[in-house]
């Protein structure tokens, strides 16, 4: 058991020395509350629900497949008939009729197979599409707290690996399995129709096949699980090493990293070969079954022909039938494995898709719901329009602990007045980020309450009352304009430009190869981390929430970049109630009020001048900072106009 | 890889040559298996002929015995032949992967430039796998040819007419099938790409879930995803229909071939030219022949893929190094005097800079891009366009970059952490016997460790992701300090660190680097205040140099750059 990425530093940590199982989404790290998985019964019911509206399609598809397989089974008796014509020394011209029939069978079989396969895949694909839509809908609505408890890897794994496993099963395994099973069933029936004793003879192979299949699944499932882990950790190591190549070279770690990759790659190779051996042993056993069945059918044919109860042609047809069973039987047995993993993946998808739909707006803000709704939109006064400021945040008596016994916040009271910009300052581990998350509604406090009161200005849009921007950098794949419109769906290009201007990003955006339409994100044009943060701030401007929480939104940009981002952030929160977790004291010093935290408590609160005068924690922080700037007499000015853009470097 | 700039063909050839024993053994045994599989329908015919038709018990026992022997033979040769093939593929893949990693990590660099890490990792996994699989394709190809040859011999010996019908009919059938499916295939490939888009979009949305929730964009995202999913569905359905049509077509064609074989064979048998059993064998062999012929088609596709992948691999392996190794060596011990003379690179313009041995120098660049350019030259990730950088009087371009890095460490702002514990990361570049504690204390890692559940033995996760940005930065700085190089250049080491900690780190750096050359490229006043002097790089030129306090007092540009 080991950790997935994004484990909070306070979380449980695997001690396995060689874990590297960042892609090991299958294993369940101890202490994690994974997202729910549906029971087999519930999974079946969910599939039935999805299929029900398309019952006609399902019936037609399977009917076509049955006809196709049934028609195909006429081939062997027709061949047997030719054998009989020859054996009875009838004129060669008699062969023409069965041959023509063979051609007709071929045409009919081809047509019905094409029809059946296309209907079955239409059914499968449509159901799959509905399922993934429902899954994504529920997944995006999951409370962040639940997602974080499960580890971000859990949801990602479900949306990538599980969806693709089910998709592949629907696309390849399902039609193939249906065809194979039908072929097996109908072929056995046809053999029974020739003579019931052929059927009995064919069954001799079944015990061997059944036990082989059981043996295979028993060994294959855990082995493939380990294989996935090994391949995942090899991939992870490769990414680690390749992405960090500069660092590897700088520290002369070339040999060590080559060694790391070699180790992981060897492990993956070893497991791959173990899987190969398993499959080969599997086929070996099936060869035994094939031989036993074939010999039995031939002996039966021999005895029945000698006894005069069947013709040579019938015996031939039976042998050919059995020979033609090899392919579908092998296919069906191999697919058992796929079917098993697809079922498990399906259960994980249904588990999330079945989640009760929370209210579209943040339920975490719980106690504030009533108040938010109580304020019907009212005409805005000139003063309000001027201030645009819409939200008051009242934090009362909050205690919080991620794990019982490890409290992070103690008895925190804080009020953010409408339009006020408050900087949160304190050493690492003081609880700043936790407080920010509680106010943004990501977590529910262990005790105490967070109230957000909006005055109506923010309710004209169906956005969130409190928006959160963190240092997390993600750009949504696709045109840049689409990324921005996630914050405001109907925004015009002019509105997008205004928002980009506000965060000093318009210059580089219009300089992109296709301006606002440039494809960014995964596989698209690469943006610098500072540019990504500017986009995050532009989204904030577009979402236009009454309250904004900024947590280290400027930390990743390097010091010069950080300053430009701070200015962009200032403009983005202009006129909003804002809580800014500040690392650089210059940013704090320009705020309306500074709140200092230490050890999970608020220890000071006031304006820059008040706190400096108070000679407390902040004053000493400022001392550490300004000791170096004794000559800088002025406190930084608020809202400095600045048009500098961040260069793409 | 033997040639220094291998082509795709070289990569492919080397890959097979490296596994030649396995490939040869696999081909031999695989051929044995094909031979056996071809004999099964023949033996069914023989049993019908000799035993069933004539009611001969002795013959039945005899030929079932022969069938058993054939089965044992084909099963065993399959078992060991396929094993050799798979093993050769897996080993070749592994060898290529390691060769790629060695190239990427080569001190001369260059391989990763212009390529995303994900793309490179993909070449080292997917492309390596495809080239490795060529070994298997060769083995299966040879076996299939032997299978076809066996069938041909058996059929032609039975009847030349029937043999020709089958031998010409099957390739024609496959060719027809290929012809019919070709336009479908190209269409379905693009459609499948569109289909795959839906899952990519879903993964992307989930990856940005926090951001989405932060701005309340869930509803928009859900609506957008639904459109994508429906689009994808339409594309998939088209592709699936095409595929279904193709399957039906192949079935029809196969059925027609069997009808033709039955017609010709039946007439020959009715005329008494061939026996009943031979007729049965011929039908069976016609069906069997489809197998090896399809294998050949698969081998062909595999070889094409392998060639394309080999070209991609060769491109990486053959990327020229950005910097080359010179033949001068540094005098030991390294004093650590660095001199830049007329260096122009990127935005730098004729920079002259003399860094004395043991000096703690601050460098402030008004444009962050210029700081990056300077670091590139010092780290020798690139050589300057003009001018020279010297260490102890030796031009960097005359040195082996690997040796240079042993003397001078350039710790980048975005340096990556690697999987392992906090302590593992800190000691990664340190001399074996060194005590990492002073470096950890200086960089403030001691405080980080206090808040972690396992202290310094806490695993940091891949690329250090389980740590916060500020924690990562401090661990990276401790690693740079612990490496204990005669010259250390650090870029913006404290941007995500709070002010109190930053002040502590500043004095920690000064303390631990006492007497050794250290360059801090930053605009943080806390760090600059502990330096001996600061150089101001404005507009790519050195415009002033003086102690921090003096520059603050006298230089407006400097004040703006550092204190804004």
- The CB density around residue B385, as the number of other CB atoms within 10 Å, is 11
- Cross-chain residue pair A243–B463, CB shorter than 8 Å: yes
Does A70 reside within a domain?
yes
Residues in B 314-353 with any Cβ partner in A closer than 8 A: none
Same domain, yes or no: A153 and A279: no
CATH number at residue B500: 3.40.50.300
Spatial distance between the Cα atoms of B126 and B103, rounded to a whole number of angstroms: 17
Please list, in sequence order, all residues whose beta carbon lies within 8 angstroms of the beta carbon of residue B108, skipping any fewer than 6 positions away: B321, B322, B323, B324, B325, B401
- Cross-chain residue pair A13–B466, CB shorter than 8 Å: yes
Q: Is A644 on the interface with B (CB under 8 A)?
A: no
Same domain, yes or no: B525 and B470: yes
Same domain, yes or no: A133 and A259: no
Residue % of chain B over a pLDDT of 70: 96
CA separation (Å) from B423 to B264, B376, B458, B469? Answer: 79, 28, 8, 17
- Cross-chain residue pair B428–A557, CB shorter than 8 Å: no
Same domain, yes or no: B125 and B236: no
Same domain, yes or no: B265 and B247: yes
In A, minimum Cα distance to B257 occurs at A103
Same domain, yes or no: B264 and B390: no
When pLDDT is cut at 50, 70 and 90, the band that residue A390 belongs to is low
Spatial distance between the Cα atoms of A395 and B129, rounded to a whole number of angstroms: 57
- Cross-chain residue pair B418–A12, CB shorter than 8 Å: no
For the cut 70, the answer to whether the pLDDT of residue A284 exceeds it is yes
Spatial distance between the Cα atoms of B507 and A241, rounded to a whole number of angstroms: 32
In A, minimum Cα distance to B79 occurs at A280
Spatial distance between the Cα atoms of B402 and B399, rounded to a whole number of angstroms: 8
- The two beta strands, B348-355 and B338-345, are antiparallel
pLDDT at A617: 81
Same domain, yes or no: A49 and A181: yes
When pLDDT is cut at 50, 70 and 90, the band that residue B189 belongs to is low
pLDDT at A153: 67
Query: Considering only A293-302, A464-473, B338-347, B503-512, which range has the smallest mean pLDDT?
Result: A464-473
**Mapped to the 3 state alphabet, what secondary structure does B353-375 carry?**
EEECCCCEEEEEECCHHHHHHHH
pLDDT, averaged across chain A:
79
pLDDT at B188: 64
Contacts of A296-299 with C-beta under 8 Å, sequence gap 24+, read: A296/A201, A296/A202, A296/A204, A296/A205, A297/A191, A297/A198, A297/A201, A297/A202, A297/A322, A298/B44, A298/B47, A298/B51, A298/B52, A298/B60, A298/B64, A299/A201, A299/B60, A299/B64
In total, the C-beta contacts within 8 angstroms joining chain A to chain B are 568
Does B286 reside within a domain?
no
Helix or strand (DSSP H, E) at B101: helix B57-105
pLDDT per position as a tens digit, B34-51: 889 888 888 988 888 888
- The two beta strands, B487-491 and B408-411, are parallel
Does A76 reside within a domain?
yes
* Residues A582 and A500: beta-carbon distance below 8 Å: no
pLDDT, averaged across chain B:
87
Spatial distance between the Cα atoms of B492 and B475, rounded to a whole number of angstroms: 14
Spatial distance between the Cα atoms of B132 and B370, rounded to a whole number of angstroms: 44
Q: Is A301 on the interface with B (CB under 8 A)?
A: yes
In B, minimum Cα distance to A240 occurs at B463
Does A584 reside within a domain?
yes
Q: Which residues of B touch A482 (CB under 8 A)?
A: 224
Q: Which residues of A touch B416 (CB under 8 A)?
A: 240, 243-244, 246-247
Q: Is A273 on the interface with B (CB under 8 A)?
A: yes
For the cut 60, the answer to whether the pLDDT of residue A364 exceeds it is no
Query: Considering only A318-327, A466-475, B223-232, B530-539, which range has the smallest mean pLDDT?
Result: A466-475
pLDDT at A646: 38
In B, minimum Cα distance to A91 occurs at B270
Same domain, yes or no: A548 and A434: yes
For the cut 60, the answer to whether the pLDDT of residue A239 exceeds it is yes
Spatial distance between the Cα atoms of A153 and A144, rounded to a whole number of angstroms: 13
Q: Is B134 left (phi over 0), alpha (psi -120 to 50) or beta?
A: alpha
Same domain, yes or no: B228 and B299: no
For the cut 70, the answer to whether the pLDDT of residue A358 exceeds it is no
Spatial distance between the Cα atoms of A631 and B432, rounded to a whole number of angstroms: 45
In A, minimum Cα distance to B559 occurs at A632
Does A31 reside within a domain?
no
* Residues B65 and B71: beta-carbon distance below 8 Å: no
Q: Is A318 on the interface with B (CB under 8 A)?
A: no
For the cut 60, the answer to whether the pLDDT of residue A456 exceeds it is no
CA separation (Å) from B27 to A438, B18, B86, B145, B152? Answer: 66, 15, 12, 10, 19
Q: What is the mean pLDDT of residues B197-212?
A: 82
pLDDT at A19: 32
Same domain, yes or no: B7 and B32: yes
Tell me the torsion sign for CA atoms B346, B352, B357, B362. negative
* Residues B276 and A86: beta-carbon distance below 8 Å: yes
Q: Is A639 on the interface with B (CB under 8 A)?
A: no
Q: What is the mean pLDDT of residues B291-296?
A: 80
Q: Measure the CA angle with vertex A66, ends A64 and A72; round to 5°.
A: 105
Structural domain of B33? 1-159+295-322
Does B460 reside within a domain?
yes
Q: Give B415-465 as a DSSP string.
A: PPP-SSBHHHHHHTTS-TT---HHHHHHTTHHHHHHHSTTGGG-B--GGGT
Cis peptide before A16 (omega within 30 of 0): no
Nearest by CB: B453 against A10, A133, A247: A10
pLDDT at B184: 67
Q: Is B199 on the interface with A (CB under 8 A)?
A: yes
- Cross-chain residue pair B462–A79, CB shorter than 8 Å: no
Q: Which residues of B touch A621 (CB under 8 A)?
A: 499-500
What does the DSSP 8-state code read for residue B336? -
CATH number at residue B13: 1.20.1560.10
Structural domain of A107? 39-194+342-358
- Cross-chain residue pair A470–B214, CB shorter than 8 Å: yes
- Cross-chain residue pair A163–B202, CB shorter than 8 Å: yes
Please list, in sequence order, all residues whose beta carbon lies within 8 angstroms of the beta carbon of residue B514, skipping any fewer than 6 positions away: none
Q: Which residues of B touch A627 (CB under 8 A)?
A: 503, 529
How near does any CA of chain A get to the CA of B20, in Å?
A: 18
B364-384: burial string, b at 16+ Cβ within 10 Å, e else:
bbbbbbbbbbbbbbbbbbbbb
Phi, psi of B489 (to 5 degrees): -115, 125
When pLDDT is cut at 50, 70 and 90, the band that residue A102 belongs to is very high
- Cross-chain residue pair B523–A560, CB shorter than 8 Å: yes
The count of domains in chain A is: 3
Does A333 reside within a domain?
no
Same domain, yes or no: A223 and A159: no
Tell me the torsion sign for CA atoms A580, A389, A610, A601. negative
Same domain, yes or no: B312 and B395: no
- The CB density around residue B329, as the number of other CB atoms within 10 Å, is 11
For the cut 60, the answer to whether the pLDDT of residue A559 exceeds it is no
pLDDT at A36: 83
pLDDT per position as a tens digit, A589-644: 889 999 998 888 899 999 999 988 888 888 877 776 665 444 334 444 443 333 33
Q: Is A57 on the interface with B (CB under 8 A)?
A: no
Same domain, yes or no: B117 and B211: no
pLDDT at B375: 92
Nearest by CB: B495 against A100, A116, A555: A555
pLDDT per position as a tens digit, B482-495: 999 999 999 989 88
Does B288 reside within a domain?
no
Same domain, yes or no: A264 and A134: no
- Cross-chain residue pair B244–A118, CB shorter than 8 Å: yes
| 3-state SS class at A526 | coil
Same domain, yes or no: A349 and A449: no
Please give the residue that has the higher pLDDT: either A113 or A30: A113
Same domain, yes or no: B100 and B155: yes
Nearest to A238 by CA among B100, B422, B416, B427: B100
pLDDT at A5: 35
pLDDT at B355: 94
Residue A287 is encoded by which pair of tokens?
Answer: 């060869």
In A, minimum Cα distance to B346 occurs at A649
How near does any CA of chain B get to the CA of A373, in Å?
A: 17
**β-strand partners of B69:** none
How near does any CA of chain B get to the CA of A320, in Å?
A: 8
Q: Is B37 on the interface with A (CB under 8 A)?
A: no
- For an interface test with A, the pick among B86, B266, B450 (most A C-beta atoms closer than 10 Å) comes out as B266
- The CB density around residue A490, as the number of other CB atoms within 10 Å, is 8
Spatial distance between the Cα atoms of A167 and A493, rounded to a whole number of angstroms: 37
In B, minimum Cα distance to A564 occurs at B564
- Cross-chain residue pair A132–B553, CB shorter than 8 Å: no
Q: Is A535 on the interface with B (CB under 8 A)?
A: no
When pLDDT is cut at 50, 70 and 90, the band that residue B4 belongs to is low
pLDDT at B55: 87
Residue A444 is encoded by which pair of tokens?
Answer: 């529910």
Q: Give A6-64 as a DSSP string.
A: T--TTS-----TT---TT--SS--TT--PPP---HHHHHHHHHHHHGGGHHHHHHHHHH
Same domain, yes or no: A471 and A605: yes
When pLDDT is cut at 50, 70 and 90, the band that residue A97 belongs to is very high
Does A20 reside within a domain?
no
Q: Is A249 on the interface with B (CB under 8 A)?
A: yes
Residues in A 61-90 with any Cβ partner in B closer than 8 A: 72, 75, 78-79, 82-83, 85-87, 89-90
B40-65: burial string, b at 16+ Cβ within 10 Å, e else:
bbbbbbbbbbbbbbeebeebbeebbe
The count of domains in chain B is: 3
Spatial distance between the Cα atoms of B219 and A241, rounded to a whole number of angstroms: 38
- For an interface test with A, the pick among B112, B197, B206, B287 (most A C-beta atoms closer than 10 Å) comes out as B206
Same domain, yes or no: A467 and A606: yes
Does A314 reside within a domain?
no
Q: What is the mean pLDDT of residues B13-17?
A: 91
How near does any CA of chain B get to the CA of A380, in Å?
A: 24
Tell me the torsion sign for CA atoms A9, A14, A16, A21. negative
Same domain, yes or no: B387 and B241: no
How near does any CA of chain A get to the CA of B84, in Å?
A: 10
When pLDDT is cut at 50, 70 and 90, the band that residue A295 belongs to is very high
CATH number at residue A553: 3.40.50.300
- Cross-chain residue pair B503–A625, CB shorter than 8 Å: yes
CATH number at residue A185: 1.20.1560.10
Same domain, yes or no: A176 and A238: no
- Cross-chain residue pair B206–A139, CB shorter than 8 Å: yes
Same domain, yes or no: B147 and B187: no
Query: Considering only A257-261, A518-522, B55-59, B81-85, which range has the smallest mean pLDDT?
Result: A518-522
Locus of tokens 């997008």: A496
Same domain, yes or no: A204 and A243: yes
pLDDT per position as a tens digit, A160-187: 778 878 888 887 788 888 888 888 999 8
pLDDT per position as a tens digit, A25-34: 333 343 457 7
Same domain, yes or no: B349 and B424: yes
* Residues B476 and A19: beta-carbon distance below 8 Å: no
- For an interface test with B, the pick among A1, A2, A4, A9 (most B C-beta atoms closer than 10 Å) comes out as A9
In B, minimum Cα distance to A307 occurs at B55
- Cross-chain residue pair B75–A272, CB shorter than 8 Å: no
Same domain, yes or no: A185 and A266: no
H-only helix segments in B106-159: 117-122, 128-158
Does A234 reside within a domain?
yes
pLDDT at A452: 86
* Burial degree of A640 (CB within 10 A; 0-12, 13-18, 19+): exposed
Residues in A 186-245 with any Cβ partner in B closer than 8 A: 234-245
- Cross-chain residue pair A295–B107, CB shorter than 8 Å: no
For the cut 50, the answer to whether the pLDDT of residue A567 exceeds it is yes
- Cross-chain residue pair A280–B87, CB shorter than 8 Å: no
Give the count of alpha carbons within 13 A of A577, CB side only: 23
Range among A74-88, A185-199, A341-355, A630-644 rated most confident: A185-199
Phi, psi of A267 (to 5 degrees): -60, -40
Q: Is B61 on the interface with A (CB under 8 A)?
A: no
pLDDT at A16: 32
- Cross-chain residue pair B60–A8, CB shorter than 8 Å: no
Nearest by CB: B245 against A114, A152, A284: A114
Q: Which residues of B touch A280 (CB under 8 A)?
A: 78-79, 82-83
């Amino acid at each position: 058991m080991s950790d997935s990425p994004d484990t909070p530093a306070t979380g449980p940590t695997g001690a396995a020395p060689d874990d590297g199982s960042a892609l090991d989404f299958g294993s369940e790290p101890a202490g994690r509350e994974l997202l729910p998985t549906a029971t087999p019964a519930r999974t079946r019911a969910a599939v039935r629900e999805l299929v029900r509206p398309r019952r006609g399609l399902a019936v037609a598809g399977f009917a076509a497949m049955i006809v196709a397989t049934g028609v195909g089974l006429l081939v062997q008796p027709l061949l047997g008939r030719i054998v009989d014509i020859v054996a009875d020394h009838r004129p060669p011209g008699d062969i023409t009729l069965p041959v023509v029939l063979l051609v007709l069978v071929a045409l009919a079989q081809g047509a019905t197979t094409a029809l059946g396969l296309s209907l079955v895949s239409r059914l499968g694909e449509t159901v799959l599409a509905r399922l993934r839509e429902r899954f994504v809908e529920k997944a995006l609505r999951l409370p962040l707290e639940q997602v974080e408890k499960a580890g971000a890897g859990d949801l990602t794994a479900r949306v990538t690996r599980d969806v693709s496993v089910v998709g592949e099963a629907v696309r390849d395994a399902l039609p193939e399995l249906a065809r194979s099973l039908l072929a097996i069933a109908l072929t056995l029936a046809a053999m029974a129709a020739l003579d019931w004793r052929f059927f009995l003879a064919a069954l001799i192979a079944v015990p061997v096949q059944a036990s082989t299949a059981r043996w295979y699944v028993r060994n294959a499932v855990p082995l493939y699980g380990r294989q996935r882990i090994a391949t995942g950790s090899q991939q992870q190591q490769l990414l680690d090493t390749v992405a960090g190549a500069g660092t590897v070279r700088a520290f002369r770690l070339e040999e060590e990293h080559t060694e790391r990759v070699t180790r992981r790659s060897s492990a993956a190779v070893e497991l791959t070969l173990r899987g190969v051996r398993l499959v080969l042993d599997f086929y070996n056993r099936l060869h035994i079954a094939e031989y036993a069945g074939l010999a039995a059918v031939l002996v039966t044919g021999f005895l029945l022909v000698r006894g005069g109860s069947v013709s040579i042609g019938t015996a031939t047809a039976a042998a050919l039938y059995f020979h033609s069973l090899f392919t579908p039987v092998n296919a069906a047995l191999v697919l058992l494995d796929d079917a098993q993993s697809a079922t498990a993946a399906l259960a994980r998808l249904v588990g999330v898709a079945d989640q009760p739909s929370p209210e579209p707006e943040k339920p975490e803000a719980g106690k504030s719901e009533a108040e938010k709704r109580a304020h019907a939109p009212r005409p805005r006064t000139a003063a309000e329009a001027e201030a645009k400021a819409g939200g008051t945040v009242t934090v009362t008596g909050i205690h919080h602990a991620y794990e019982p016994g490890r409290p992070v916040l103690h008895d925190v009271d804080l009020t953010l007045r409408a339009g006020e910009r408050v900087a949160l300052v304190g050493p690492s581990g003081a609880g700043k980020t936790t407080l920010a998350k509680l106010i943004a509604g990501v977590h529910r406090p262990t005790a105490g309450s967070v109230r957000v009161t909006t005055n109506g200005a923010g309710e004209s849009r169906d956005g969130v009352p409190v928006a959160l921007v963190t240092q997390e950098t993600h750009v949504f794949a696709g045109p840049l304009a689409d990324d921005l419109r996630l914050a405001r769906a109907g925004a015009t290009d002019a509105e997008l430009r205004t928002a980009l201007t506000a965060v000093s990003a318009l210059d580089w955006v219009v300089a992109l190869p296709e301006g606002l339409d440039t494809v960014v994100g995964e596989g698209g044009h690469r943006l610098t981390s500072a540019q990504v943060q500017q986009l995050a701030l532009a989204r904030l401007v577009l979402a236009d929430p009454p309250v904004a929480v900024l947590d280290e939104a400027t930390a990743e940009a390097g010091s010069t970049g950080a300053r430009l981002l701070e200015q962009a952030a200032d403009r983005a929160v202009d006129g909003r109630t804002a809580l800014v977790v500040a690392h650089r004291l210059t940013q704090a010093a320009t705020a309306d009020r500074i709140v200092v935290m230490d050890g999970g408590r608020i220890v000071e609160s006031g304006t820059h001048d008040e706190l400096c005068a108070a000679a407390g924690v902040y004053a000493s922080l400022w001392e550490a900072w300004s000791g170096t700037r004794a000559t800088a007499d002025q406190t930084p000015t608020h809202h400095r106009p600045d048009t500098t853009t961040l260069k793409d470097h | 890889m033997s040639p220094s700039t291998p082509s795709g063909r070289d990569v492919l050839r080397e890959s097979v040559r490296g596994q030649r024993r396995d490939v040869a053994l696999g081909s031999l045994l695989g051929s044995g298996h094909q031979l056996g599989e071809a004999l099964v329908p023949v033996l069914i015919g023989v049993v019908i002929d000799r035993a069933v038709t004539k009611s001969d018990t002795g013959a039945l026992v005899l030929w079932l015995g022969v069938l058993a022997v054939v089965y044992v033979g084909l099963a065993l040769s399959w078992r060991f032949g396929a094993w050799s093939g798979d093993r050769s593929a897996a080993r070749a893949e592994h060898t290529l992967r390691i060769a790629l990693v060695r190239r990427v990590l080569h001190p001369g660099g260059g391989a990763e430039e212009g390529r995303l890490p994900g793309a490179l990792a993909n070449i080292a996994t997917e492309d390596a796998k495809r080239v490795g699989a060529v070994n298997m394709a060769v083995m299966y190809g040879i076996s299939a040819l032997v299978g076809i040859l066996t069938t041909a011999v058996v059929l032609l010996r039975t009847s030349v007419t029937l043999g020709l019908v089958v031998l010409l009919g099957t390739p024609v059938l496959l060719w027809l099938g290929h012809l019919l499916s070709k336009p479908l295939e190209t269409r379905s490939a693009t459609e499948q790409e569109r289909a795959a888009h839906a899952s990519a979009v879903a993964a992307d949305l989930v990856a940005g879930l926090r951001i989405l929730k932060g701005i309340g964009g869930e509803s928009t995202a859900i609506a957008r995803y639904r459109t994508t999913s429906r689009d994808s569905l339409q594309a998939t359905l088209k592709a699936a229909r095409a595929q279904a049509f193709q399957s039906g077509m192949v079935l029809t064609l196969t059925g027609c071939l069997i009808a033709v074989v039955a017609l010709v064979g039946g007439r020959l048998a009715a005329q008494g030219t061939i026996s009943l059993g031979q007729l049965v064998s011929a039908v069976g062999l016609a069906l069997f022949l489809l197998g090896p012929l399809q294998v050949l088609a698969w081998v062909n596709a595999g070889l094409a893929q392998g060639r394309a992948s080999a070209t991609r691999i060769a491109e990486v392996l053959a990327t020229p190094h950005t910097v080359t190794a010179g033949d001068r060596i540094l005098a030991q011990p390294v004093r650590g005097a660095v001199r830049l003379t007329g260096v122009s690179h990127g935005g730098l313009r004729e920079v002259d800079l003399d860094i004395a041995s043991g000096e703690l120098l601050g460098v402030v660049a008004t444009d962050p891009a210029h700081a990056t350019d300077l670091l590139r030259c010092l780290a020798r990730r690139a050589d300057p366009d003009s001018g020279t950088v010297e260490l102890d009087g030796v031009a960097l371009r005359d040195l082996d970059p690997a040796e240079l890095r042993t003397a001078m460490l350039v710790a980048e702002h975005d340096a990556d952490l690697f999987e392992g514990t906090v302590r593992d990361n800190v000691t990664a570049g340190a001399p074996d016997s060194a005590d990492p504690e002073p470096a950890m204390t200086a960089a403030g890692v001691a405080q980080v460790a206090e808040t972690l559940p396992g202290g310094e033995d806490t695993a940091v996760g891949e690329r250090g992701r389980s740590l916060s940005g500020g924690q990562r930065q401090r661990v990276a700085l401790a690693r740079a300090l612990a490496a204990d190089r005669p010259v250390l250049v650090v870029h913006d080491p404290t941007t995500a660190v709070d002010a109190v900690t930053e002040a502590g780190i500043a004095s920690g750096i000064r303390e631990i680097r006492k007497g050794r050359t250290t360059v801090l490229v930053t605009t943080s006043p806390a760090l600059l205040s502990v330096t001996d002097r600061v150089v101001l790089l404005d507009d790519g030129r050195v415009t002033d140099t003086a102690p921090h306090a003096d520059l603050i007092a006298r230089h407006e540009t400097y004040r703006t750059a550092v204190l804004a």
